[in-house]
Structure 1
Amino acid sequence: MTTQLRTTLVGLLLVTAGLATAVTVTRHDNTDHPGIAASVRTGPYVALGDSYTSGPRIPVQTGRPAGCDRSDHNYPAHVAAQLRLQPGDIRDVSCSGATLTDLTSSQSTKKGTNPAQLSAISRSTRLVTLGMGGNDIGFSDMITRCVTMGTAFKVLDRAKDMSSHDSPCRESYTDNGIDSTEKRIAGLEPKLTSALRDIQRRAPEARIYVVGYPAILPVGDTGCGRGLPLAPGDIAYLRDKEAELNKTLKDQAVSAGATYVDTYEASRGHDACAAESTRWIEPIVPSNPAAAVHPNARGQRGMAKEVLRAIRAVG
């Protein structure tokens, strides 16, 4: 056998072995996680978001700074586990109270400073989830305000003093027919567009998933008594504002070429007014370990399931 022939045969054997190995790895990946491309499954993965992502008060609280209230059982942790990512292949930089501004600027908390969330992204990043926008429109403050006014409404309604005004909170956000919350939601559009473009610039090969908010309130206007005391009209008002927020997140995700993850439909019937054993969102006084009016561990698992469903759908 000539030297040239031996060299050629060795080269062919190496190529064949390489192809066989590649096929084996691909089959293993697709068997474990149908529809998930290997490049996505292996990360690196960066999770961006606010408290609906970080998981305040859900055991075990971990990460730095402690003021971000991250749980090791939030949806990014579940997604990483299902994709079998190594610890070094996930960076969860979500933080309670975060707004879109905190993507590019550091965020001060009561227990430390969280660096700009986008600083966690690099050209090697292959998967990004973004769950943010609620704090930009002041949704938590709205719920607090509406609950306070709802409690007063119920007292006055029993006295028949406010029977014709069943949405005091909505009225407080409306001036001359202009809803200030709608203006804030509209103001999200350019911020989201800028944020998604920035992510794409920093990680051009990453797949980006914008995660919507789960159902906080039930269908109808009955509320859930002490669990979330709201005037009947304000239940519909808050539900409508959440729907508008999610629609804006979806529209901007689609426009940017990202994927929107709908967690609302899957969480219907698991809102803050649902039974303790089935709800995803805790009421004003939580009975499961979680922050008030935030996802509990069940909710985080449910949100993770929808993120994974979206990843598999894209393939």
Structure 2
Amino acid sequence: MGDSFASGEGTGDYYPGTDTGADTCHRSPHAYGPQVAQTNGLDLTFVACSGAATWDIVHPNQSDPEPAQISQLSSDTKLVTLTVGGNDVGFTQVLGACLHGTGIPNFDKNANGTDYGYGCKGNLKLRAVVTTRERALGGGAGASAPGPVTRSIVALKNVLGQIHAAAPSAKITVVGYPKLFGTSKSNYFTKKYSPAPGASVSGSFCDVGNTPGVWSVQYEDALWMDSETQNVNAILAKSVSDAGRAGNFSAVFADPTPVFDGHSFCGGKSNWINPIHLDGSTPWSGSFHPTIDGQSAYAQLLTPTVTG
């Protein structure tokens, strides 16, 4: 269950019917769910959908013609894996605000009035929106997820409670998100940019595109984005603990950060995150999603939840 990180968006190989003009859920046989099922001889019901938010777990999907993901659970379900929350807080929107490159829509102008991407961590409007959404995901005051349709953010604790009610015999594993960037400046490049008339930026930058020098992220912005990813993971972990304790059911959180260590943009090792490139005039939907190697790393992370 869950969003694009669970569906296998970015692997480039999708099941029929999930890569059409009407349905873009992009479910892949290379996603971690199918890999875990095949390795361990499990029967799989695969309902994750690219673009899904917490709303789409418990309500019919408003963007794709699919029922609520929870509707596919039953008393016979023994294991549920779920990755969700990134679309609720606006990961794509944040990336759009922080990337420098042609064809990338920006969330809003940065603190210095420019809109070329660098310095997004100083964008107070962006940070305030992200913080509000994170609080809603954790059970705070209500907020809406970004997107073409209005979807209220459903506190993950409540989502997990509904999953347990629909599948009372199932062990639930919530899987988090990896950091997208490395922490060592030695893996970044240093250059002075003049990305806008009258503006210049000097510092360390990370190439994130399939063509060097076309799309990049400033070092400080990369660290800020990773810190927000860790904030989301912390919210997911706490929600799992709170829900399991309140409902007296088995739920665990699986953190992919250690297994992805170094395998990110400018991480120093082979990159398990897809670079950005344009699909026509817009960024490819698989950009900044795990590669097949990344999905395999997820599957290995989840092995203890199946065999333990």
Q: Same fold (TM over 0.5)?
A: yes
Is residue 213 from structure 1 mapped to residue 177 from structure 2 by the alignment? yes
1:262-295: CA deviations, max 9, x gaps?
Answer: 11111010013357x8221112239xx9811100
Instruction: Please state how far the C-alpha of 1:139 moved relative to its aligned partner.
Output: 0.7
| Equivalent residue for 1:179, pick from 128, 146, 152 | 128
Kept after mapping to 1: 8 A contact 2:182/2:264: yes
Q: 1:150 to 1:170 in 2, by over 3 A?
A: farther
Alignment match, 1:281: 273
Is residue 75 from structure 1 mapped to residue 32 from structure 2 by the alignment? yes
Alignment match, 1:309: 304
Q: Which runs of 5+ in 1 are unaligned?
A: 1-47, 153-160
Aligned to 1:72, the other structure's residue is in SS state coil
Alignment TM-score, normalising by the size of structure 1: 0.71
Within 1, Cα distance between the matches of 2:177 and 2:129? 20
Is residue 251 from structure 1 mapped to residue 246 from structure 2 by the alignment? no
Aligned pairs (5 A) from 1:1-315: 48-66=1-19, 67-85=24-42, 89-109=43-63, 112-148=64-100, 168-174=119-125, 179-190=128-139, 191-220=155-184, 222=188, 223-225=205-207, 227=209, 229-257=216-244, 258-274=251-267, 278-285=270-277, 291-312=286-307, 315=308
Instruction: Please state how far the C-alpha of 1:59 moved relative to its aligned partner.
Output: 4.3
1:188-247: CA deviations, max 9, x gaps?
Answer: 012101100001111111000000012211114534235351123211110110010111
Instruction: Please state how far the C-alpha of 1:167 moved relative to its aligned partner.
Output: 6.0
Q: Which has the larger radius of gyration?
A: 1
How many aligned positions are there?
245
Within 2, Cα distance between the matches of 1:197 and 1:204? 10
Q: 1:60 to 1:232 in 2, by over 3 A?
A: closer
Within 1, Cα distance between the matches of 2:124 and 2:50? 24
Kept after mapping to 2: 8 A contact 1:149/1:230: no
Which amino acid counterpart does residue 96 of structure 1 have in structure 2? S
Q: 1:298 to 1:290 in 2, by over 3 A?
A: farther
Within 2, Cα distance between the matches of 1:241 and 1:297? 24
Instruction: Please state how far the C-alpha of 1:60 moved relative to its aligned partner.
Output: 2.7
What's the % identity of the aligned pairs? Answer: 30
Aligned to 1:272, the other structure's residue is in SS state coil
Instruction: Please state how far the C-alpha of 1:174 moved relative to its aligned partner.
Output: 4.3
Instruction: Please state how far the C-alpha of 1:170 moved relative to its aligned partner.
Output: 1.7
1:25-64: CA deviations, max 9, x gaps?
Answer: xxxxxxxxxxxxxxxxxxxxxxx11111111242431054
Q: 1:195 to 1:226 in 2, by over 3 A?
A: closer
Kept after mapping to 1: 8 A contact 2:206/2:219: no
Within 2, Cα distance between the matches of 1:198 and 1:226? 38
Aligned to 1:230, the other structure's residue is in SS state strand
Kept after mapping to 2: 8 A contact 1:149/1:169: no
Within 2, Cα distance between the matches of 1:79 and 1:245? 24
Aligned to 1:129, the other structure's residue is in SS state strand
Kept after mapping to 2: 8 A contact 1:290/1:296: no
Q: Which runs of 5+ in 2 are unaligned?
A: 105-111, 140-154, 189-204, 210-214, 245-250, 279-283
**Which portions of structure 1, spanning 4 or more consecutive aligned residues, are displaced by more than 4 angstroms?**
149-152
Task: Pick the structure with more helix per residue.
Answer: 1
Kept after mapping to 2: 8 A contact 1:213/1:263: yes
Kept after mapping to 1: 8 A contact 2:158/2:243: no
CA-atom RMSD, angstroms?
2.8
Kept after mapping to 1: 8 A contact 2:27/2:49: yes
Within 2, Cα distance between the matches of 1:226 and 1:251? 31
Aligned to 2:9, the other structure's residue is in SS state coil
